[in-house]
Structure 1
Amino acid sequence: MDFQVWPEAIELGRLFAEQGFELALVGGPVRDLLLHRPSHDLDFCTSARPEQFEPILRHWGSGFWDMGRKFGTLGALRRRPDGTEVKVEVTTYRRDTYDPDSRKPEVDYGDSLEGDLSRRDFTVNAMALRVPDLVFVDPYRGANDLAKQVLRTPVDPRQSFDDDPLRMMRAVRFVAQLGFTIAPETAEAITRMTDRISIVSAERIRDELTKLMLSDHPVQGIEALVQSGLADIVLPEVPALQLEIDEHHRHKDVFEHTLMVVDRAIALETGPDGPVPAPDLTLRLAALLHDIGKPATRRFEPGGKVSFHHHDAVGARLARKRLKALHFDHHLIADVCDLISMHLRFHGYVDERWTDAAVRRYARETGPLYERLNRLTRADATTRNKRKAQVFSSAMDELEDRVAQLRRQEDLDAIRPDLNGQQIMQILNLKPGPQVGRAYQHMLDYRLDQGPVDQQTAEQELRDWWQSQDQGQA
């Protein structure tokens, strides 16, 4: 077969063979070899027990770990002369038995490579390459499925998914990562067994969703997730976007619009040195969830119009609840929800250009999310009206130019009032407390409205504002 095998894999195969053990490269690395895709993490299985092959790995690698020892897995790392790293994990041949109420298998050691391959999730991952002699092993015709770009289970899919329901999530994730389709009998089994996913931990589901969203084809994965029925359980806000369209089509299909926004947002990601390096999970999740508040806020107004008032705020609340349930990182949750709540902020600029004060506020309040928000906003403009699209794009270009110009003149990210808290207390003869906070906020608003001013002007503004307050309530 036409592929070039990692020299480290062949070397390990020789070391195992010298001790009388079988070793085979398995799973993703074999699949990636056939697809000519790069891979630096190599998975092997062996006839040896962990205590037998541990000395081999320790001798071979510059690093060693044994967190998977109870599952028969040990790992090692080697640094190449060019600075790159190769990570390997070696697992004793296994045959798994499952408790139907648990995601976790009970591991029994197996006695053959073919038996080990039978417990793999899909045929394209159930291929092996014996090393060092490079004998290709493919008992379930995985190479044929790989050529057809089809995902199929090695055994009956109902048994496979009953044994390990997470495999259903892995199926839609591989649709996104590889651009494959799910075989009809496998897809039918997923649809019939979606309720089994409820025994899988939130963290496991989150990890599969993350891999899906960071893949090359996330929209295909999202569609598969929804079509399978899995999304109804793990991310129900997304299939809920499939709103029934009224006969006069007074609003666009929200689900199809969302998929388009995800694609457009991905296209606006940048290279590694840009402001939003690809792939960006925060931007992609915000694009996926930005309109999930629409089903709850849809109203049919007089005159035949349809409205979704405050769907940005409602969507942010729904997104926060869902992402927390999936145990996403709280910083990522905050950023995604802020992007959703702000994704309509720019629209007023198209109708009436903002003052410099408003531009300063936009740049400062969006802060580190500024670049992502602009990309989400551009991606969300999916109108087919070429004139409207051009007007919107030109307005966004203009806003970004104005922000860039103001950034050159002022440090917008670090804007502070022209008077600090200590100066405010001294000028107004105040002690620390709420009055100082209100005065500080006023001076910050004044700074955003007027730009930087000299000390004398700032002090006069503070005194004028103070005199205008009801000092008993100030």
Structure 2
Amino acid sequence: MWQLGLRIVERLQKAGYIAYFAGGCVRDRLLGHQSHDIDIATTATPEEVQRLFPQATGLHGKVFGVVRVPFGEWSFEVATFRRDVGSRDGRHPDHVVFVPPAEDAYRRDFTINALFYDPISDQVIDYVGGQRDLAEKTIRAVGDPNQRFAEDKLRLLRAVRFAANLGFRIEPGTWNALRIQAATIHQVSVERIREELDRIWSGPAPARGLDLLDQSDLLLHILPEVSALHGVEQPKEFHPEGDVFLHTRLLLEQLHSAPLPLAWAALLHDIGKPLTKRVDRNGRIRFFEHEVVGARMAHAILSRLRQPNQLIEAVVAMVVNHMAFKDAKQMRPSTLKRLLARSTFSMELELHRIDCLASHGDLSIYEFLRTKLEELPASDISPPRLVTGHDFIALGVAPGPLLGSLLETIREAQLNGQIQTREEALAFASRLVATPPATPHRTNNPRKPL
């Protein structure tokens, strides 16, 4: 990708234009990190870029001086050096004016993102002190931080993300402006807010991200349910670490670039505790069915953020099931196998581990489940079904709740080792049809909205 980007810069420079790599790719190169994309800034206008690169696409961005130049599987954003004018929506400029490179640097968000790099001469062009701030691990707004945040409210979350993921501090003036404008974050679309949160929670330091969101009041405005975990006391015999917020933070502290569903589940696993907290006559604190209430809340929160259904279902399953692990050693073989066979089990097991480490520290159930997972082959945990609904229909059972109940009874017997062959299953099925079990009361499916 780097070599392809260099070819674009080389062609622009040979045509007489100034052209540099710009922004995040320069920052990442100086930090020794890998970049996932390369942006290019140039004095060429969008029309001039298109003449040099007829394959240029995304020309709807021409009004902001931006086109995309595809090269095979890669695509490069090529932008004319510009200055933004106005921002009535708090997110996008009203229009742009083409300017020299130095003026373009001064309209960018943070100094570490306002660097240019000439790959032909191998020279960094720094108009704003970005190299100094990289060396000092500092997030600093370019120019007036109040103005930078007013131009684009998404920068409030970007400052937190960069500070958390890079391990940088936020310069005091930038931090003060961020806190003052935190309540305006709702001017940003929920999709962009979600993207920034996802990058924080699945990044290398989600606990640091939580701290900054909390201390800046962004958390209160974006995820008030998480902010409400502050001050919710827990029974000290199980949670010597402190209140629910601190417990949640300790879970995140153990996650580093974790799968996104696991990160969200860690954040939301105890979200139902404030609503379910009860103190009995002996002064004992209880949170009855907080996992059920929490699953409903997690579904509402993630839906509000317009997360994909697959992620919502995985997180809700982990939240509603996280208390089941405490009974693992007493489970019947069939129940244990159903636990091990869940599609989210590997993440649920990790959630259980960090949940224990963030509280009482007892990992005996975690070790028990790991041992069972190693001992039991996949064919034992989730073996092929021995009978189908067609088999019961052939025995005279009509489609409906009774048929479903009979199939579950057969499956339970199979997982418990009572039957092992199709012949045994069919014989068992015949006996069941003769004396069918009562249709069990159906509970909510934990993978669906509760």
TM-score (norm 1): 0.84
How many residue pairs align between the two structures? 439
Q: What's the C-alpha RMSD, in Å, of the aligned pairs?
A: 2.9
Contact 2:9/2:40 (8 A) holds in 1: no
Tell me, what secondary structure is at the counterpart of 2:357?
A: coil
Contact 1:250/1:304 (8 A) holds in 2: no
Residue 136 of structure 1, CA deviation: 3.3
Residue deviations 1:376-407, cap 9 Å, x none? 1111102666xx62xx33x3223233244332
State the match for 2:410 in structure 1. 443
1:309 has 2:299 as partner: no
Residue 210 of structure 1, CA deviation: 1.3
State the match for 1:269 in structure 2. none
Contact 1:265/1:375 (8 A) holds in 2: no
Higher alpha-carbon deviation: 447-456 or 15-24 = 447-456
Classify 1:463/1:13 alpha carbon distance in 2 versus 1 (closer, same or farther; 3 Å): closer
Quick one: which of 179, 186, 201 aligns to 2:189?
A: 201
Q: Tell me, in whole angstroms, the C-alpha distance in 2 between the residues paired with 1:263 and 1:300.
A: 29
Q: Tell me, in whole angstroms, the C-alpha distance in 2 between the residues paired with 1:256 and 1:452.
A: 48
Classify 1:443/1:78 alpha carbon distance in 2 versus 1 (closer, same or farther; 3 Å): same
Classify 1:470/1:74 alpha carbon distance in 2 versus 1 (closer, same or farther; 3 Å): closer
Contact 1:359/1:399 (8 A) holds in 2: no
Matches within 5 A, 1:414-429: 414-416=383-385, 418-427=386-395, 429=396
Matches within 5 A, 1:267-282: 279-282=258-261
Q: Tell me, in whole angstroms, the C-alpha distance in 1 between the residues paired with 2:304 and 2:358.
A: 34
Matches within 5 A, 1:199-238: 199-238=187-226
1:358 has 2:335 as partner: yes
Q: Tell me, in whole angstroms, the C-alpha distance in 2 between the residues paired with 1:33 and 1:279.
A: 24
Task: Give aligned-pair identity as a percent.
Answer: 31
Residue 455 of structure 1, CA deviation: 4.4
Quick one: which of 367, 372, 375 aligns to 1:402?
A: 372
Q: Tell me, in whole angstroms, the C-alpha distance in 2 between the residues paired with 1:315 and 1:203.
A: 23
Residue 370 of structure 1, CA deviation: 1.3
State the match for 2:448 in structure 1. none
Residue deviations 1:413-435, cap 9 Å, x none? 3542x3221221222x2333333
State the match for 1:412 in structure 2. 381
Q: Tell me, in whole angstroms, the C-alpha distance in 2 between the residues paired with 1:360 and 1:153.
A: 54
State the match for 1:273 in structure 2. none
Q: Tell me, in whole angstroms, the C-alpha distance in 2 between the residues paired with 1:116 and 1:19.
A: 21
Tell me, what secondary structure is at the counterpart of 2:150?
A: helix
Quick one: which of 147, 150, 166 aligns to 1:162?
A: 150
Tell me, what secondary structure is at the counterpart of 1:104?
A: coil
Classify 1:40/1:383 alpha carbon distance in 2 versus 1 (closer, same or farther; 3 Å): closer
State the match for 2:85 in structure 1. 97
Q: Tell me, in whole angstroms, the C-alpha distance in 1 between the residues paired with 2:250 and 2:66.
A: 42
Higher alpha-carbon deviation: 335-344 or 34-43 = 34-43
Classify 1:11/1:430 alpha carbon distance in 2 versus 1 (closer, same or farther; 3 Å): closer
Moved over 6 A (4+): 246-250, 470-473
State the match for 1:432 in structure 2. 399
Residue deviations 1:94-148, cap 9 Å, x none? 2112333442222313221111111111011112234534453322211111111
Q: Tell me, in whole angstroms, the C-alpha distance in 1 between the residues paired with 2:290 and 2:168.
A: 34
State the match for 1:372 in structure 2. 347
State the match for 1:127 in structure 2. 115
Q: Tell me, in whole angstroms, the C-alpha distance in 2 between the residues paired with 1:412 and 1:38.
A: 40
Quick one: which of 52, 68, 71 aligns to 1:56?
A: 52
Classify 1:67/1:287 alpha carbon distance in 2 versus 1 (closer, same or farther; 3 Å): farther
State the match for 1:253 in structure 2. 243
Residue 467 of structure 1, CA deviation: 4.0
Higher alpha-carbon deviation: 240-249 or 324-333 = 240-249
Q: Tell me, in whole angstroms, the C-alpha distance in 2 between the residues paired with 1:426 and 1:8.
A: 65
Contact 1:175/1:217 (8 A) holds in 2: no
Contact 2:42/2:79 (8 A) holds in 1: yes
Residue deviations 1:20-50, cap 9 Å, x none? 2111221112212221222252112111111
State the match for 2:12 in structure 1. 16
Tell me, what secondary structure is at the counterpart of 2:339?
A: helix
State the match for 2:67 in structure 1. 74
Residue 295 of structure 1, CA deviation: 1.2
Tell me, what secondary structure is at the counterpart of 1:237?
A: helix
The letter of the residue matching 2:357 is T
Q: Tell me, in whole angstroms, the C-alpha distance in 1 between the residues paired with 2:167 and 2:302.
A: 26
Higher alpha-carbon deviation: 192-201 or 433-442 = 433-442
Q: Tell me, in whole angstroms, the C-alpha distance in 1 between the residues paired with 2:2 and 2:439.
A: 78
Matches within 5 A, 1:375-390: 375-382=350-357, 389=362
Residue 58 of structure 1, CA deviation: 4.6
Matches within 5 A, 1:456-467: 456-467=423-434
Q: Tell me, in whole angstroms, the C-alpha distance in 2 between the residues paired with 1:451 and 1:175.
A: 57
Matches within 5 A, 1:25-40: 25-40=21-36
Contact 1:360/1:403 (8 A) holds in 2: no
Q: Tell me, which stretches of 5 or more residues in structure 2 are unaligned?
A: 441-450
Q: Tell me, in whole angstroms, the C-alpha distance in 2 between the residues paired with 1:309 and 1:186.
A: 43
The letter of the residue matching 1:142 is G
Contact 1:103/1:164 (8 A) holds in 2: yes
Q: Tell me, in whole angstroms, the C-alpha distance in 1 between the residues paired with 2:149 and 2:251.
A: 32
Tell me, what secondary structure is at the counterpart of 1:238?
A: helix
Q: Tell me, which stretches of 5 or more residues in structure 1 are unaligned?
A: 80-84, 267-277
The letter of the residue matching 2:109 is D
Higher alpha-carbon deviation: 19-28 or 248-257 = 248-257
Q: Tell me, in whole angstroms, the C-alpha distance in 2 between the residues paired with 1:356 and 1:153.
A: 58
Classify 1:16/1:448 alpha carbon distance in 2 versus 1 (closer, same or farther; 3 Å): same
Classify 1:77/1:126 alpha carbon distance in 2 versus 1 (closer, same or farther; 3 Å): same
TM-score (norm 2): 0.88
Q: Tell me, in whole angstroms, the C-alpha distance in 2 between the residues paired with 1:400 and 1:64.
A: 51
Q: Tell me, in whole angstroms, the C-alpha distance in 2 between the residues paired with 1:110 and 1:210.
A: 34
